[in-house]
Structure 1
Amino acid sequence: MTSATTWATPPTRTELIENLVSGVDRYNPSNVGILEDYLYHQIRSEEYDCLANLAILKLYQFNPDLHNPDVVINILIKALAALPFPDFNLCISLLDERPVTANPDEPDPLPSLLPVLQSLHNLLQQCRFPAFWTLYRSEKAESLRDNYTVEVVGFENAVREVVVRAVKAAFQRIGSQRLSSYLDLSGEELSAYAEKLGWAFDASTGVVLIPPNPDNQIESTVVQENIQLPQLVKVITHAQAA
């Protein structure tokens, strides 16, 4: 899981981007092209820089003429797999309500895809993983898959990493069929993925064993209170007076 420090300052961020994100130049509209190019670099390389992407959305807020719906959609796609960080909601908060374009030659894809993206985010956040994959594979999300996520290198595996974090925190043992529905993998793909994670697969029972970690271990806690006699006397005296 990404640490807060890495989230705020990714090691892959260049000095140029750091200056644009952290300095006063982040509000200079002439730099939007540099930040957009950096976004597409993230898409091709599986890197991620939320603050740089938020800077693009902020520039769009201040300069509506710069608004590019394709860029916005790609920013939201990258933010989907950032859970449990609130990146997606941060991005949504910077989107202004925009009228649907009347130009038939360049229709705005954002109004139709934004509800799909929000639904996918909600399902992922609620750990409703089978429902997430069902919606993602559905005809409703066909345009999103064919025109956008197909270009985002490692998108589906990034989503699976979100699933893995949730499964590791909640399970010590999980049925392979259930895990298959969570990861949208089956057969040899599922076995290879579990093996890569270091999870043991029991073929005789169809159960996947997840190694112990601080989140999936149940530990009893003993609470011991140490009350001194003078404190007890005060309590009894107060109770008698009442």
Structure 2
Amino acid sequence: MQPRKEAFALPYATPSKTAPLSGPESNSSMANANPGISTGLPRPSSYNSVHSNVLGDGLYTQEKVKHLEEYLQLQVKEGSYDFEANKSLLKLYLLYPPLANNENVETILLKALLNLPATDFTLLLYILPEKLQTDENVLTIKDAAEALETARYADFWSILNSRAAVFLAIPEWKDDIRKIILTVHAATYKAVDKAHVSDGVGLSGDELDSFLTANTPGLVAKVEVDRVIFAPNKENQPWVRKYKEKVDLQNMLGILNRLAA
């Protein structure tokens, strides 16, 4: 089947390769929902408590660093996400450089990538502590992010495979990224060659079939020998533009009468 052109955009991606994927559950103010497809991350269980007691008055004090670091680890454990809290932790690292923790910074960046297409990752790069701007692991994550956001999936998986240790902070991070990539495909195609999907998600053979059947509810309708059929959604279905008449009948009759006079 001839695929229609991909015409979506993740942050700083080329328009022909990517798609807006963020769903209504995303807790980033920068996220734009793509109706019918959701990849939003849930809020942490202690979200209300942290926002009331930690992110309130006196936020930028050293004592808040420990609370926000513990909150970050809760997000890792739960698979949840809080952009505002993580942004505040990075700001505290800026204010108190000796307290900056490289591993936490890397975890924050990896978490932000799971909230694509919200621009969280790009925004966080601007407030990284100076000493981390050229950190090797941070640069690796930046390279991977750019490859992901511009749909250069072969490059993305090459980076991950060559620097695997950098991406181990979050359990099942790779599979979560695969779901994001697959969502781009689902928004672009009704059906596509399995080889194309394989290149995108970095899996093949039985591993690919297992991932497609077990981890993609609502995205994949059927996996065949040589192609993948996606479930219908608002992006991959034909649509008809409806035109509304701007000149009503009475006005048209008046025009015709004047022309006939």
TM tier, smaller: 0.7 to 0.9
Deviations 1:109-166 (A, max 9, x none): 962222221121111111222221122212xxx2xx22x4223111101111211221
2:68 corresponds to 1:70 = no
- The one of 118, 135, 139 aligned to 2:159: 135
Q: Counterparts in 2 of 1:63-142, with a 5 A limit?
A: 63-98=96-131, 111-138=135-162, 142=163
Partner amino acid, structure 1, of 2:79: E
Q: CA RMSD in A?
A: 2.7
Query: Counterpart in 1 of 2:67?
Result: 34
Q: How far off is 1:21 after superposition?
A: 5.1
Query: Counterpart in 1 of 2:181?
Result: 163
| Higher relative helix content | 1
- The one of 79, 100, 120 aligned to 1:46: 79
**Residue-pair matches, total:** 218
Secondary structure of the equivalent of 1:199? strand
Partner amino acid, structure 1, of 2:172: G
- The one of 223, 229, 236 aligned to 2:243: 223
CA distance in structure 1 between the aligned counterparts of 2:104 and 2:47, rounded to whole angstroms? 20
The worse-fitting range, judged by mean Cα deviation, of 27-36 and 45-54 is 45-54
Q: Which runs of 5+ in 1 are unaligned?
A: 99-107, 235-242
2:189 corresponds to 1:175 = no
User: Are the structure 2 counterparts of residues 230 and 119 from structure 1 closer, same or farther at C-alpha, using a change threshold of 3 Å?
Assistant: same
Deviations 1:187-230 (A, max 9, x none): 11211222232431222xx0111111111112121324322576
Q: Which runs of 5+ in 2 are unaligned?
A: 1-21, 30-41, 256-261
Secondary structure of the equivalent of 2:130? coil
Partner amino acid, structure 2, of 1:16: S
CA distance in structure 2 between the aligned counterparts of 1:28 and 1:171, rounded to whole angstroms? 50
CA distance in structure 2 between the aligned counterparts of 1:222 and 1:128, rounded to whole angstroms? 36
CA distance in structure 2 between the aligned counterparts of 1:118 and 1:134, rounded to whole angstroms? 14
Q: How far off is 1:5 after superposition?
A: 5.9
The worse-fitting range, judged by mean Cα deviation, of 186-195 and 220-229 is 220-229
Query: Counterpart in 2 of 1:56?
Result: 89
Partner amino acid, structure 2, of 1:126: T
Rg: which structure is higher? Answer: 1
TM-score by length of 2: 0.73
8 Å CA contact 1:20, 1:26 repeated in 2: no
2:230 corresponds to 1:210 = yes
CA distance in structure 2 between the aligned counterparts of 1:180 and 1:6, rounded to whole angstroms? 30
Query: Counterpart in 1 of 2:24?
Result: 3
The worse-fitting range, judged by mean Cα deviation, of 111-120 and 15-24 is 15-24
CA distance in structure 1 between the aligned counterparts of 2:241 and 2:133, rounded to whole angstroms? 53
CA distance in structure 1 between the aligned counterparts of 2:252 and 2:122, rounded to whole angstroms? 49
Higher relative contact order (CA 8 A, sep 6+): 2
The worse-fitting range, judged by mean Cα deviation, of 43-52 and 171-180 is 43-52
